[in-house]
Amino acid sequence: MGAFDAFEIANTSLGMHQTWLDTLADNIANINTIKPTTQKAFQGQMIIAQARPGGGVEVAGVAVTDPEGRVISDPDSPLADADGNVRAPDLDMSSQMTQLIMAQRGYQASVQVTKDAQDTYTSALQIGKA
Amino acid sequence: MAVPPVQPVGFTPYVAPTADATSTSATTGTSSTGGDFGNLVLDGLNRLEGLTDKSDTLAVKAATGDLQSIHDYTIAASETSTATQLTVAVRNKAIDAFNEIMRMQV
Amino acid sequence: MSVASVSLLGPDLVTRTLTAALDGLSIRQNVIANNIANVDTPDFRATSVDFESSLAAALADGDPEDTVISSTPTQTPVGANGNNVDQRKETMAAMQTVYQYQVLTRATSDRFDLLKTASADF
């Protein structure tokens, strides 16, 4: 019911931040995934967040990083081409880590919103009770 | 910040009238009993009215966001609650005493 | 005796004022929840709820139900991705809202308790 909007709003945020954390974890796990230059690089995912009309936030879509990736020189790699190059993902570790912290913080903030909503609704239910 | 002292409710103990043998003094006894009894309850009610108004004002202040400190409201509310309970107890005892006096006349 | 001044036609002025304020705080809590949920959404602009001034004015006319609960954009600075949610500010506002809500539910309960006390053993 509309009486518990705060819960619903916080819930959308928990969902979106969880998805964000999952994609970041996947990106970080694959930050060193090398592909030969004949193939696409590993493509990291980036969620696109937008405000939800009924309140809260939702994942509008997922963008992927450049399939060209970063061409780096690694002649000793078994996947290296004639020039000794391989494709690395177009992902920056420090950026991914920063986002990880932001996603965690955003998640926790909405957890607190849920607790606050609980306090409010409980307090309303106590009116008139001895 | 000094907390204003709790105002006394103004309860004056009820003094039972002395019973007389003659009927005329019995009638006088009734009216003087009625007078004391009425004053007793009214006095308490007047004090209570002041406290209730104070509580109401602070509650409204809390609603419009003008309450400077929560203890202003909770102290006033507790005063009113205690005063109400005291007044109700006084009223009940006064009514009981009055009924008892009325029974005596018969 | 004002402690028993509840009209049989409906709740008295103070209770109606408290109810109007509780409505305002409820909306405020939802708006804060929305701001916090969108702390990382690009181009999101935070809003804040005001009802206290409207309530004070409506009360002066004896009609707390005329209170207008309005939600307006905040003045917080916009960050690189177009988002202007100040998470610390919103978190503090959330805590304060919960606290205010509890004060008013306590006030409402107290008034009902007074009536119960006054009407007991009647």
**What is the rounded CA–CA span in Å between residue B44 and residue B86?**
9
Q: B103: distance to nearest CA of chain C, Å?
A: 20
Average pLDDT over residues A16-31: 97
- CA-wise closest residue to A48 among A59, A39, A32, A56: A59
**∠ CA B101-B104-B106, rounded to 5°:** 125
pLDDT class of B52 with cuts at 50, 70, 90: confident
Q: Do the domain assignments include residue B32?
A: no
pLDDT digits (tens, 9 = 90+) for B18-28: 544 444 433 44
Least confident range of C12-16, C39-43, C49-53, C80-84: C12-16
Give, for B35, the enclosing helix (H) or strand (E).
Answer: helix B23-63
Q: Which residues of A touch C105 (CB under 8 A)?
A: 123-124, 126-127
Touching partners of B (3+ C-beta pairs < 8 Å): C
Q: What is the mean pLDDT of chain C?
A: 89
**What is the rounded CA–CA span in Å between residue C80 and residue C102?**
37
Strand, helix or coil for residue A62: strand
CA nearest to B58 within chain C: C107
Q: Using the beta-carbon criterion (under 8 Å), do B88 and C121 form an inter-chain contact?
A: yes
Least confident range of A116-120, B10-14, C47-51: B10-14
- Residue A59's DSSP bridge partners are A49
pLDDT digits (tens, 9 = 90+) for C57-113: 999 998 999 999 999 999 999 999 999 999 999 999 999 999 999 999 999 999 888
Handedness of CA B21, B23, B28, B34 (dihedral sign): positive
ipTM value for the complex: 0.85
> What percent of chain B has pLDDT above 90?
8
In this prediction, residue B9 carries a pLDDT of 66
Q: C59: distance to nearest CA of chain B, Å?
A: 9
- CA-wise closest residue to A89 among A105, A110, A67, A111: A67
Q: Do the domain assignments include residue B30?
A: no
pLDDT digits (tens, 9 = 90+) for A39-62: 999 999 999 999 999 899 999 999
Give, for B91, the enclosing helix (H) or strand (E).
Answer: helix B70-105
Q: Using the beta-carbon criterion (under 8 Å), do C37 and A57 form an inter-chain contact?
A: yes
Q: Do the domain assignments include residue B9?
A: no
Q: Do the domain assignments include residue B99?
A: yes
Q: Using the beta-carbon criterion (under 8 Å), do C3 and B80 form an inter-chain contact?
A: yes
List chain A domain ranges: 2-122
Q: Using the beta-carbon criterion (under 8 Å), do B64 and C52 form an inter-chain contact?
A: yes
pLDDT class of C8 with cuts at 50, 70, 90: low
Q: Do the domain assignments include residue B36?
A: no
Q: What is the mean pLDDT of chain B?
A: 74
Residue C108 per-residue DSSP state: H
Least confident range of B41-50, C14-23, C36-45, C108-117: B41-50
- CA-wise closest residue to C78 among C38, C46, C30: C46
Q: Do the domain assignments include residue B15?
A: no
Average pLDDT over residues A68-74: 93
Handedness of CA A127, A128, A129, B4 (dihedral sign): positive
Least confident range of A116-120, B79-83, C43-47: B79-83
Q: How many domains does chain B divide into?
A: 1
Q: Do the domain assignments include residue B100?
A: yes
Q: Which of C36, C87, C101 is most worth mutating to test chain A (most A CB atoms within 10 A of its CB)?
A: C36
Q: Do the domain assignments include residue B27?
A: no
* Residue-number span of the structural domain to which B105 is assigned: 48-106
The reply to whether C36 touches chain B by the CB within 8 Å rule is no
The reply to whether C52 touches chain B by the CB within 8 Å rule is yes
Beta pairing, strands A57-64 & A45-51: antiparallel
Q: Which of C18, C23, C39 is most worth mutating to test chain A (most A CB atoms within 10 A of its CB)?
A: C39
Q: Is the pLDDT of residue B3 over 80?
A: no
Residue A57 per-residue DSSP state: E
pLDDT class of C3 with cuts at 50, 70, 90: very low
Q: Using the beta-carbon criterion (under 8 Å), do A5 and C44 form an inter-chain contact?
A: no
Phi–psi pair at C77, nearest 5 degrees: -70, 145
In this prediction, residue B14 carries a pLDDT of 63
Q: Which residues of C touch A9 (CB under 8 A)?
A: 30, 33-34, 37
Average pLDDT over residues C4-11: 58
The reply to whether C87 touches chain A by the CB within 8 Å rule is yes
Q: What is the mean pLDDT of chain A?
A: 93
Q: Using the beta-carbon criterion (under 8 Å), do A57 and C112 form an inter-chain contact?
A: no
In this prediction, residue C116 carries a pLDDT of 84
Residue type (1 letter), A96: Q
Q: C61: distance to nearest CA of chain A, Å?
A: 27
**In this predicted model, which residue has the larger pLDDT, C103 or C5?**
C103
